[in-house]
Amino acid sequence: MKIQEVLYIALINIEFLVTTQATPPALARETNEIEDEFECKPLVIAHRGASGYVPEHTLGSYSLAIAMGADYIEPDLVITKDSQLIIRHDNELSLTTDVSQRHEFANRRRNQTVDGTVLNGWFTEDFTLKEIKTLRVVERLPNIRPGNSRMDGSFSILTFQEILDLAKSFQNSAKRVIGVYPEIKRSTYFRNIGLPMEQLVVDTLHRNGYQGAQAPAYIQSFEVNNLKELKKITDIKLLQLFETNKSLQPADQAELGTGLTYGDMASVDGLKQIAKYASAVGPDKAYIIPRTSKNQLGSATRFVEDAHKAGLKVHPYGFRAENYFLPDEFQSKDKRPASLGNFQGELKAYLETGIDGLFSDQPDIPINMRKFCVNKTN
């Protein structure tokens, strides 16, 4: 079945699934139902949904990812002026919505320093949820994903609750576990302006039945102290993210002046410290196989081995099929940035390192590669 056909089927059913569930179906029993099915099965986490095919963080993107068989869907969480959790990668709205075309919000444009970077635009914390819901989503990468741009204006911004309702509704009809993998964005920034998110995230998950280490959920963050705080208030699994640049510090550590960098955290001792509060790590994939000066894959590092020795699962990001994102040897002959390359070749190299899962914009491709895995029951 073509991707477009899968999307069409998902979309014509989605309104019924989301709006007719007076009582959401029971939550799946435990994460092990996802993680233990195959001997060599890496978890496939749909990065912002199936964002390689549909604009990110939309009902269409998440529905397609679920229809494709993704184990987890990954919503990024930011917050509104009235303390409502919504799904956006950035608190600045102009890259992925039509806010710049909305004359009624023209006076909301301003400069704001976010985690040390001065941005000019429109920010979620200046809008109520009611106002946010009037905006329409546009494609973040129109030059790389022009097909997605044809759907500009088709979707609204989702709340965290709507994502959980979606996952549970589809779980009932698909008769399989569909996990959720929220990322708390800009934790220190939002806390400093009086909009902390951690307790809201936990309360929302607990209220929806996600409780305990066996729940089909992970909470992730690029910061450190908020994960340590979360460890005290929930048993849901936590994942420590790593920025691409190893010399950078997590935003909270920079504010505290600890000197701790992502490179420090990736060391043997650093991973042991992370294991005290997290169940998994989410490095940029270059921590596992860095690229050479010729933009080709180099040799694998010890990161996966060291993380496993510390008792951590390894779920790297971000796997994408377009030439623009692929190493040179896996790009298609035409070399055009938007063309699809040999994504399977890159994936195979990373799977051979023993990773436990991966974040992908095109989740169908790693899912289809799993047909070569050996079922434990055979």
Tens-digit pLDDT profile for residues 262-286: 999 999 999 999 999 999 999 999 9
**Quick one: pLDDT at residue 371?**
67
Interacting residues of 83 by C-beta distance below 8 A, sequence separation 6+: 195, 200
**Quick one: pLDDT at residue 372?**
59
Confidence of residue 35 (pLDDT cuts 50, 70, 90): low
**Quick one: pLDDT at residue 163?**
97
| CB contact at 8 A, 261 and 270 | no
Per-domain boundaries in the chain: 3-91+146-372
What's the CA gap between 160 and 124, in Å, rounded? 14
Alpha helices in 193-267 (DSSP H): 198-207, 225-233, 251-256, 262-265
Describe the crossing of helices 198-207 and 225-233 by its angle, rounded to 10 degrees: 40
Please report, for residues 68, 324, 336, 368, the alpha-carbon distance to residue 65 in angstroms, rounded to integers and kept in the order given: 5, 22, 26, 13
Q: Which of 32-41, 120-129, 351-360 has the lowest mean pLDDT?
A: 32-41
Judged on CB neighbours under 10 Å (0-12, 13-18, 19+), 110 is: exposed
> How many other CB atoms are found less than 10 A from the CB of residue 257?
8
Please report, for residues 60, 65, 97, 152, 233, the alpha-carbon distance to residue 54 in angstroms, rounded to integers and kept in the order given: 6, 10, 14, 9, 35
Alpha helices in 159-224 (DSSP H): 160-174, 187-192, 198-207
Interacting residues of 353 by C-beta distance below 8 A, sequence separation 6+: 288, 289, 300, 304
**Quick one: pLDDT at residue 19?**
34
In DSSP notation, 311-378 reads T-EE--B-B--BGGGS-GGGS-TT--TTSB--HHHHHHHHHTTT-SEEEESSTHHHHHHGGGSPBTT-
**Quick one: pLDDT at residue 373?**
54
Say whether pLDDT at 33 is over 60.
no
Say whether pLDDT at 29 is over 70.
no
Confidence of residue 24 (pLDDT cuts 50, 70, 90): very low
Task: Choose between 338 and 29: higher pLDDT.
Answer: 338
Mean pLDDT of 190-212: 97
CATH architecture of the domain with residue range 3-91+146-372: Alpha-Beta Barrel (3.20)
Own/partner long-range contacts of 187-195 (Cβ < 8 Å, ≥24 apart): 187/221, 187/223, 187/226, 187/251, 187/252, 188/115, 188/223, 188/226, 188/251, 188/252, 188/255, 189/91, 189/114, 189/115, 189/251, 190/78, 190/79, 190/91, 190/125, 193/125, 195/79, 195/83, 195/125
Confidence of residue 171 (pLDDT cuts 50, 70, 90): confident
Report the candidate in 175, 215, 212, 170 with the shortest Cα–Cα distance to residue 30: 215
Task: Choose between 220 and 377: higher pLDDT.
Answer: 220
